[in-house]
Amino acid sequence: MDAAIGFIVGAECSIMRIVKVNSLHKWDVSVAQAKELQLSLADRVVTGCVAIDPLLVAGVDISSPRLHGRARAAVAVLSYPAFETVEVSTVEGEIAFPYVPGLLSFRESPLILAAFERVRNAPDLVLVDGQGIAHPRRLGLASHLGLFLDRPTIGCAKSILCGRHETLGHERGSHAELFDRGDCIGAALRTRSGVRPIYVSVGHKIDLASSLQWVLECCRGYRLPEPTRLAHLVASGRVSPNRVAE
């Protein structure tokens, strides 16, 4: 992989914990094989409550071209509850998998996981700018990454991929469950009063109620949770990793 890698350490962490990335499957697959993998891996996603008492929370985002080209993945690791930047890891490289709705994790996961492999302070909770099980085959980016990382992950998407929900209130914390084919797959969540909701779904090793709780806990006055907001700023090139750590 042709990649440019960057690290920034903002706040010190007393114990260095390297992220271990599992090897679940190869990435050189066809569209049909990718869909089959999603269906088989979805059965391995844990949607029950796992006790979480995080010291470090990570946000994940990637700036990906519509077709082919280079992309930048960013992982921002923040302390909890202070939300100080501990580390930012970025990786740039070529996107090989074609753009197919519902298969974005096959385009984006390799670079994101490469960024995680260089993280020196393993997070206890990962928030992903993307879908968890709120996906036609119940395996969006957050769930896919959760299986590779084997740690609690939450999908925090800006838009709906599938499913419908009832009208939710305008105040912060209001939510409405998202249903698809009779299954509750997530919820629309108002993270700021009067602002458009985001769409929260279980990624892996967490339940929906806990996911909603932690997303709200990580929102610090913005629509997006602070970890994914910072990862988005870095991945999109709007803010350099150096500025995030300041």
Q: Convert the pLDDT of each residue in 110-120 to its tens digit.
A: 999 999 999 99
pLDDT exceeds 80 at position 191: yes
pLDDT exceeds 50 at position 1: no
Range of the domain at 106: 4-11+29-244
- pLDDT tens-digit map of 63-116: 976 666 789 999 999 999 999 999 999 999 999 899 999 999 999 999 999 999
Contact status, residue 18 vs residue 105, Cβ threshold 8 Å: no
Q: What mean pLDDT do residues 125-133 have?
A: 97
Q: Is residue 57 part of a domain?
A: yes
**10 Å Cβ neighbour count for 39?**
11
Residue 6: per-residue pLDDT: 47
Q: Is residue 145 part of a domain?
A: yes
How far, rounded to the nearest angstrom, does the alpha carbon of residue 112 sit from its chain's CA centroid?
10
pTM to 2 decimal places: 0.90
Exposure letters 105-117 (e unless 16+ CB within 10 A, then b): bbbbbbbbbbbbe
Q: Is residue 17 part of a domain?
A: no
Residue 243: per-residue pLDDT: 63
If one counts the domains in the chain, the total is: 1
Q: Is residue 169 part of a domain?
A: yes
- Cα dihedral 116, 117, 120, 121, rounded to 10, equals 40
